Amino acid sequence: MSLTGPHDVSPSVPAPKTTANTLLLKKRSGHLIAALTAYDFSTARLIDEAGIDVILVGDSLGMAVLGYENTLPVTMEEMLHHARAVGRAARSAFLIADMPYGSYHSSLNEATSNAIRFIKEAGMAAVKIEGGSNRAALVEHLTLAEVPVVGHIGLTPQSLHRMGGYKVQGKSAPSMEALTSDAIALQAAGAVALVLEGIPRELAARITAELSIPTIGIGAGPDCDGQILVFHDLFNLTFSTAAKFVRRYADAARMFHDGISRYREDVLTRSFPSDAESYHLPGKTPGVVDNSESPVLSKA
């Protein structure tokens, strides 16, 4: 990284800002929505420049970058720290931050204060909360407080203990009915979009057809209005076996291992840094090392 070089490598004509309305129009016109998670400035900038519509600062950052076992320990302060970095990078993408476990469970007022922090302090355009009909009152409350809300139903990782593990949801008829009612309740409460996670393709298709707001699927098949994946899953950066629904686009772990090993080798064999990678005193010839005239260097 150049400490003095410009950060700004974006094209001169910025892409228009993606809003909740853009996503709605995409659904209506049959244009699909591409979404990815990001947790830091450089990744968010790359994703934004690639034209991805939605960036989610997911609480999956707990595992992906903080090394937690699941999303449950993630705090508001951790979420805000990463959301601010993403907020500084993205120009065009619609930015959503996950409300972490515990930040919206105690009271409507506390949930509202926490949600507003993502908008005020991190430049997010919406928050995402997990849960169905049981969250409808909260979605309504946040919407009235000018906080756009994205719902998240199906396999909701913050319900890990209640679900008894990360299990595909909505496989039985009653569970399909319950999830469909949840989706309808969240839409009626004002949600601007829904994430459908870990549900059968057929159920995702049914919910998508039923709703006027866009659905964004992860492990929910191809019939949603859009798709989201965790950035680290795409590039083999999770140190774990990928789920069935993950498609890997490159092996960044291998690329980083290789680069790090070559750097180590170069340092240990003095092949890095070279003379060309070094600064020189004025008047000195690059490539010729002569310390005798330098009072500072000759002391060493």
Judged by CB, which is closer to ligand KIV: 41, or 166?
166
197 part of the active site: yes
CB of 71 to ligand KIV, least distance (A): 6
- Tell me the CA distances in angstroms from 290 to 110, 128, 271, 274, 276, one per residue in order: 67, 62, 19, 16, 16
Binding mask 157-196 for ligand KIV (x = CB under 6 A): --------------------------------------x-
**Is 208 a residue that touches ligand KIV (CB under 6 A)?**
no
Radius of gyration of the chain (CA): 24
* Nearest-approach distance from CB 195 to ligand KIV, in angstroms: 5
DSSP 182-248: HHHHHHHHT-SEEEEES--HHHHHHHHHH-SS-EEEESS-TTSSEEEE-HHHHTT-SSSPPPTT---
Residue 287 to residues 221, 273, 274, 276, 278, Cα–Cα distance (Å): 60, 12, 9, 8, 10
Chosen residue from 230, 232, 235, 238 binding ligand KIV by CB under 6 A: 230
In the bound state, the residue with its beta carbon closest to ligand KIV is 58
**CB 168, min distance to ligand KIV, A:** 14
Q: Which among 122, 123, 129 has a CA at the least distance from the CA of 104?
A: 129
> Minimum Å distance from CB 146 to ligand KIV?
23
Residue 13's Cβ-count burial label (10 Å; 0-12, 13-18, 19+) is exposed
Q: How far is the CB of 145 from ligand KIV (least distance, A)?
A: 22
Does 218 help bind ligand KIV (rule: CB under 6 A)?
Answer: yes
**Using CB under 6 A, which residues numbered 1 to 60 contact ligand KIV?**
37, 56, 58-60
Per CB under 6 A, contacts with ligand KIV among 88-127 are 98
**How far apart are the C-alpha atoms of 254 and 263, rounded to whole Å?**
14
Instruction: Kindly name the residue from 130, 146, 197, 277 that is annotated as catalytic.
Output: 197
Residues with catalytic function = 197
Q: Which residues form the interface with ligand KIV (CB under 6 A)?
A: 37, 56, 58-60, 98, 195, 197, 218, 228, 230
